[in-house]
Amino acid sequence: MTIKDIIINYSKKLENISDTPRLDVEILLEKALGGVDNLYIRLNLNKELTKDQEILFNDFIEDRLKGRPIAYIVENREFMGLDFYVKEGVLIPRPDTETLVEELIDICKSKENLHILDIGTGSGAITISLAKYLPTSMVKSLDISDIPLEVGKQNAITNGVSERIEFIKSDLFNSIENTDMKFDVIVSNPPYIPKCDIDTLHTQVKDYEPYNALEGGEDGLDFYRKITAQSKKYIKENGILAYEVGHDQAKDVAEIMVNNGYTNIYTKKDLQGIDRVVIGYKL
């Protein structure tokens, strides 16, 4: 089969499982052809795949038809213009999270030598893009699980920021409890899906992405309560607490912050117009 036939036939097959079937086929083709770019696909539409390439492509498609996210199949996701290696066990970085990172970069870009704490490393998306775009900052990145810490370390190396990041295994703040560390910025995109909503998530999220990166207790707010209350011990005067929040959680999270002494709280909308980021200052 030629590249063109594959695109036509398999885009149809993926229609039921994916919102972006054609894009998926092209990404899987790029990978099956050994990591070529999209331009190569466009310039070689009449090229036949070799037997090996076809076998590999069919494996990828079979996985995708079962619902496995494209990012896990090709082991890569772009975030903030950077490449992230991803695999099962880490949350796939989302465009919504770029709203949080962009806002932090904007409010921090004139400040030097910031000490930043990211709670919940995942792929390292937030940690690494902040280190990259705030080039004098030092970041500590905490995660309760081993896979995110490994993946984060790897991504820090490939993105050239590993000297300014420390990855620490920690259940929220507990590993730094007996230190006197204080941070200019504490950031988190914690698990925030209410327990009873997990079942309603798309197969590719609920059956593949790590449950403990998704579920935030009965009302989804457990981590905002815990992190905000504990953060007071670790945040500097005038320090910033910044969260990504679920689509209807901004008001509740702002209230939790007010109740813990944060001020000048504001929200930021994502590209779909949803209040996605809540930021406050500790005076």
Q: Interface with ligand GLN by CB under 6 A: which residues?
A: 91, 93, 97, 120, 122-123, 125-126, 189-191, 213
Residue 28 or 213: the one with the smaller Cβ distance to ligand GLN is: 213
Using alpha carbons only, give the angle 120, 125, 128 rounded to the nearest 5 degrees. Answer: 100
Looking up tokens 């953060």, which residue turns up?
231
CB-CB contact of 210 with 263 (8 Å): no
CA atoms within 13 A on the CB side of 234: 25
Residue 10 or 223: the one with the smaller Cβ distance to ligand GLN is: 223
In whole angstroms, the minimum distance from the beta carbon of 193 to ligand GLN comes to 10
Residue 91 or 245: the one with the smaller Cβ distance to ligand GLN is: 91
In whole angstroms, the minimum distance from the beta carbon of 245 to ligand GLN comes to 12
In whole angstroms, the minimum distance from the beta carbon of 122 to ligand GLN comes to 2
Which residues make beta-bridge pairs with 79? 82
The CA distance from 247 to 243, in Å, is: 12
The CA distance from 73 to 64, in Å, is: 8
In whole angstroms, the minimum distance from the beta carbon of 27 to ligand GLN comes to 19
Minimal CA–CA distance to 74: which of 46, 40, 41, 33? 33
In whole angstroms, the minimum distance from the beta carbon of 243 to ligand GLN comes to 11
Residue 21 or 220: the one with the smaller Cβ distance to ligand GLN is: 220
Which residues make beta-bridge pairs with 117? 140, 186
In whole angstroms, the minimum distance from the beta carbon of 125 to ligand GLN comes to 4
The CA distance from 184 to 213, in Å, is: 25
Minimal CA–CA distance to 257: which of 222, 277, 229? 229
Phi, psi of 133 (to 5 degrees): -90, -10
Residue nearest to ligand GLN (CB): 122
Residue 49 or 99: the one with the smaller Cβ distance to ligand GLN is: 99
Residue 191 or 280: the one with the smaller Cβ distance to ligand GLN is: 191
Minimal CA–CA distance to 157: which of 117, 184, 127? 127
